[in-house]
Structure 1
Amino acid sequence: MGKYFGTDGFRGEANVTLTADHAYKIGRFLGWYYSKKKNGEAKVVIGKDTRRSSYMFEYSLIAGLTASGADAYMLHVTTTPSVAYIARVDDFDCGIMISASHNPYYDNGIKLINSDGEKMDETTISYIEDYLDGKVELFGETWTEIPFATKEKIGRTVDYVSGRNRYIGYLISLGLYSFKGVKVGLDCANGSSWQIAKSVFDALGAKTYVINAQPNGCNINENAGSTHIENLQKFVVENGLDVGFAYDGDADRCLCVDEKGNVVTGDHILYIYGKYMHERGKLVTNTVVTTVMSNFGLYKAFDKAGIDYAKTAVGDKYVYEYMKENGCRIGGEQSGHIIFIKYASTGDGILTSLKLMEVMMAKKMPMSKLYEGLKIYPQLLVNIRVKDKTKAQNDIDVQNAVKEVEQALGDSGRILVRESGTEPLVRVMVEAETHEECEKYVYKVIDVIKEKGHEVTL
């Protein structure tokens, strides 16, 4: 991770850690960089979520882009996967999504997408960060400032809502079955999906019930969407719906609720669709890609079904990279970032919900029946604040405690100890057959970390 950009863009509190000036400079750099690379006008497509600050960042980015000679195409309020789709199919130099995903409204972020609809490469990100810090070495020169475009070279803005509409059409085209007669609940988190999701489900014939689709700039993700799934659970049960889908602020993730009100997590989704592909001979490489945080029960279920799996570091970026390098067709995270690489280059919440509907319609089964065979193991994750993450993890007594837990759990559970990527924390996670076992084994390791003096005490 860089100084400003993490695995999912430059994110922070609007006008505190991420400012309008940052956005302007990012626009200035990207407009100049791509114009210079192609020796002509650059084209950049921009989307945003419903946060109050998204307009400020949109205009700041556009000012920077056009001042450097690039044309800025505005999708307006839209989803992250739609920006990735349009960047790829309409031959843009790059795409920008203004969103802080599932964060509260006062945060925001700038996500950069390359011309293939993928997350921007680390080399380009490093150039942007160097420019933000006042000096960048590129094209054989050192630049403390980059030139402005003048005369006819100054960029322009283009209203590109037609691009968003074509993305909606693309999603509709992926619907293999009519949803006629199916009662579907959608929780749009007062975010990016509020104008898109219902249009897609209505077009495919569903009887659509929508909650949290009244954004006011300050209510995105507020007791809504995939991070507050309990609201959709209640809504599905009270209204007798067949299924419900909850998105996050920029709609790149999806969680589901079955007809009984049970939560269907990203792990359930990987099991349902991975098994569906396997049964039809469509699971190329016979591998589903997960992260190390997927539930132990998912791996047990895959073993039983004869499906292989890979484990990556936490982050949909790493899932996608593994899928692309190894030719895998499906992968994702417990949180609901699911990547169907044949159809999209990023997690896409609405696409994920369509794929789950496809399995329901093809098998003529309710959602609750589709994940039978998957037992989600109890899980306990405890964070401990430490003086030095590496020293704490490498302590021989801590390692011995972890080994003892591994031996005690055998093939009926697992322990995972890892560092936080952003905070001075060590995370200890145990999955076992009972909550009591989880607690017992997590604190067996936590207690050793404390006894050895690694904990930060206030």
Structure 2
Amino acid sequence: MVRLFGTDGVRGLANREVTPELALSLAQAAAHVLGDGPRAAGRRPFAVLARDPRVSGEFISAAVAAGLAGSGVDVYDAGVIPTPAAAFLIADIGADFGVMISASHNPAPDNGIKIFAAGGTKLPDEVEDRIEAAMQRPPLAPTGAGVGRIRRFADAEDRYVVHLIETLPHRLDGLKVVLDCANGAAAGVSPEVFSLAGAEVVVMGNDPNGININDGVGSTHLAGLAAAVLEHGADAGIAHDGDADRCLAVDAEGRVVDGDQIMAILATAMQARGALRGDTLVATVMSNLGLHRAMRERGIEVLATKVGDRYVLEALGEQNLSLGGEQSGHVIMADHATTGDGLLTGLHLLAEVAHSGRTLAELASIVTVYPQVLVAVRDVDRARVDSDEGVIEAVAAAEAELGESGRVLLRPSGTEPVVRVMVEAADHGTAEAIAARLVEVVRERLALQTTSTP
């Protein structure tokens, strides 16, 4: 049986896979599992609800609100705000849990449902499994005064803005920045907060209409941001994705600064002021070899986790560490946030530019990025990628060939029906050749069996 929850909530094509019926059932199940504690304590549970601006979020959010309120949960509806804002607000008002309706960087036809625990943290796998199991139980059905109320969370955005400004170690005065808001959840709040922090702001991707989210803009489409930075003579560009839990950057010359480089800059700055606990950075197995080497040279350990910022967050909590993230731009600053926060990350990145007097390009140069080739192999059996002897032998041979000058990673995707083949090497040609060989092995060894009818 396929698990309902992926690496970042429940996600799929809205009104086909993520339906109002699914949203209602999932909300009712979450009320069962996450509302048990408050009910046992003799009080009514309450939750924060938010969404990004994609059009399907309107009916999915309505279904979630109905499922929660119909199960006796009070709902504080924050409307369109970033995912990290929702996570912050859950902790800020002491809610019992929260729900964010978003498909992050996916195109507008997709949508998703992310559930946060009390404190604004992502749910452990076992709690997600309990919620999925509870979808088979009869829903809670209080009547009269027992039903939940749905209230507008009127000052949600203001609370989040104040929080972001209060985290800054240095203001951004003197910097000119282009913000790409991906026609998403950050379109209103990001320009406001960067301006309040002292930056001169040029904005793009800030006209969401429900169907243009991530459409040629945002952290997965950086060409427009790079062009705008050059056109306006800006010091840097900051790109969010649809729900603003990511941050990628562009330097003054239009070159991309990825999540690994951003983490290196932040880790080095935090180490210098004694804020990098354990002198350790948490990153996923997808982070570039160049990040590992740059951190080792500076006496910073890199602790690697599975792909997904939820696993980064778990490691941060278990080890009492302060910084982690992903190459894709999910960066968790654990002293200030419980999830990836693209606004927080961008603010602190530019604060280091302003404080150091160095350009973003100079700061990013501490990481020598190794060429990386990433191929998604479709129509193969993802379940056997870690156990097939032929695949294991091919990976071992590739690793022996690369030695310390590169690395290989094969993994089943948690969000798509593919096996991802990643190879890093000292030069692109070598990475490409080894990746091609591994892709052939994966296709040959893991091909799905098909049945034919006579």
1:347 matched to which residue of 2? 340
1:169 matched to which residue of 2? 162
Equivalent positions of 1:32-431 (< 5 A) are 32-33=32-33, 34=35, 36-132=39-135, 134-135=136-137, 145-385=138-378, 387-391=380-384, 393-422=386-415, 425-431=418-424
Q: Aligned partner of 1:347: which letter?
A: G
SS of match in other structure, 2:155 = helix
Kindly tell me: are residues 395 and 67 of structure 1, through their superposed partners in 2, closer, same or farther at Cα, counting changes over 3 Å?
closer
Deviation readout 1:2-41 (Å, 9 max, x if unpaired): 7322121111111111111122223333345516344321
Kindly tell me: are residues 6 and 448 of structure 1, through their superposed partners in 2, closer, same or farther at Cα, counting changes over 3 Å?
closer
Displacement, 1:336?
A: 0.2
Instruction: Give the Cα–Cα distance (whole angstroms) in 1 for the partners of residues 199 and 59 of structure 2.
Output: 36
Kindly tell me: are residues 252 and 218 of structure 1, through their superposed partners in 2, closer, same or farther at Cα, counting changes over 3 Å?
same
Instruction: Give the Cα–Cα distance (whole angstroms) in 2 for the partners of residues 48 and 392 of structure 1.
Output: 35
Instruction: Give the Cα–Cα distance (whole angstroms) in 2 for the partners of residues 348 and 392 of structure 1.
Output: 32
| Matched pairs, number | 447
Instruction: Give the Cα–Cα distance (whole angstroms) in 1 for the partners of residues 12 and 238 of structure 2.
Output: 27
Deviation readout 1:43-89 (Å, 9 max, x if unpaired): 11111110111111121111222222221111111011111111112
1:8 equivalent in alignment to 2:11: no
Given that residues 386 and 392 in structure 1 are in contact (C-alpha distance below 8 angstroms), is that contact kept between their aligned partners in structure 2? no
Given that residues 379 and 448 in structure 2 are in contact (C-alpha distance below 8 angstroms), is that contact kept between their aligned partners in structure 1? yes
Deviation readout 1:275-326 (Å, 9 max, x if unpaired): 1122333221111111110011111111222211111110000011011101
Instruction: Give the Cα–Cα distance (whole angstroms) in 2 for the partners of residues 409 and 89 of structure 1.
Output: 48
Q: Aligned partner of 2:125: which letter?
A: E
Instruction: Give the Cα–Cα distance (whole angstroms) in 2 for the partners of residues 409 and 147 of structure 1.
Output: 57
1:27 matched to which residue of 2? 27
Q: Aligned partner of 2:215: which letter?
A: E
Instruction: Give the Cα–Cα distance (whole angstroms) in 2 for the partners of residues 423 and 91 of structure 1.
Output: 34
Given that residues 105 and 218 in structure 1 are in contact (C-alpha distance below 8 angstroms), is that contact kept between their aligned partners in structure 2? yes
Q: Aligned partner of 2:185: which letter?
A: S
Given that residues 171 and 351 in structure 2 are in contact (C-alpha distance below 8 angstroms), is that contact kept between their aligned partners in structure 1? no
Given that residues 190 and 221 in structure 1 are in contact (C-alpha distance below 8 angstroms), is that contact kept between their aligned partners in structure 2? yes
Instruction: Give the Cα–Cα distance (whole angstroms) in 2 for the partners of residues 278 and 177 of structure 1.
Output: 16
User: Which segments of 5 or more consecutive residues in structure 2 lack a partner in the other structure?
Assistant: none
1:139 matched to which residue of 2? none
Q: Aligned partner of 2:192: which letter?
A: S
Given that residues 380 and 448 in structure 2 are in contact (C-alpha distance below 8 angstroms), is that contact kept between their aligned partners in structure 1? yes
User: Which segments of 5 or more consecutive residues in structure 1 lack a partner in the other structure?
Assistant: 136-144
Instruction: Give the Cα–Cα distance (whole angstroms) in 2 for the partners of residues 90 and 121 of structure 1.
Output: 22
Given that residues 339 and 348 in structure 1 are in contact (C-alpha distance below 8 angstroms), is that contact kept between their aligned partners in structure 2? yes
Root-mean-square deviation (CA, aligned residues, Å) is 2.0
Kindly tell me: are residues 395 and 278 of structure 1, through their superposed partners in 2, closer, same or farther at Cα, counting changes over 3 Å?
same
Instruction: Give the Cα–Cα distance (whole angstroms) in 2 for the partners of residues 190 and 42 of structure 1.
Output: 33
Q: Aligned partner of 1:111: which letter?
A: K
Q: Aligned partner of 1:42: which letter?
A: P
Displacement, 1:393?
A: 4.4
Q: Aligned partner of 2:359: which letter?
A: P
The sequence identity of aligned pairs, in percent, is 40
Given that residues 265 and 336 in structure 1 are in contact (C-alpha distance below 8 angstroms), is that contact kept between their aligned partners in structure 2? yes
Given that residues 229 and 237 in structure 2 are in contact (C-alpha distance below 8 angstroms), is that contact kept between their aligned partners in structure 1? yes
SS of match in other structure, 2:25 = helix
Normalising by the residue count of structure 1, what TM-score does the alignment of the two structures yield? 0.93
SS of match in other structure, 1:270 = helix
Normalising by the residue count of structure 2, what TM-score does the alignment of the two structures yield? 0.93
Displacement, 1:387?
A: 4.6
SS of match in other structure, 2:48 = strand
Deviation readout 1:116-155 (Å, 9 max, x if unpaired): 11012334322332233x33xxxxxxxxx23422122222
Q: Aligned partner of 2:234: which letter?
A: L
Displacement, 1:257?
A: 0.7
Kindly tell me: are residues 272 and 41 of structure 1, through their superposed partners in 2, closer, same or farther at Cα, counting changes over 3 Å?
same
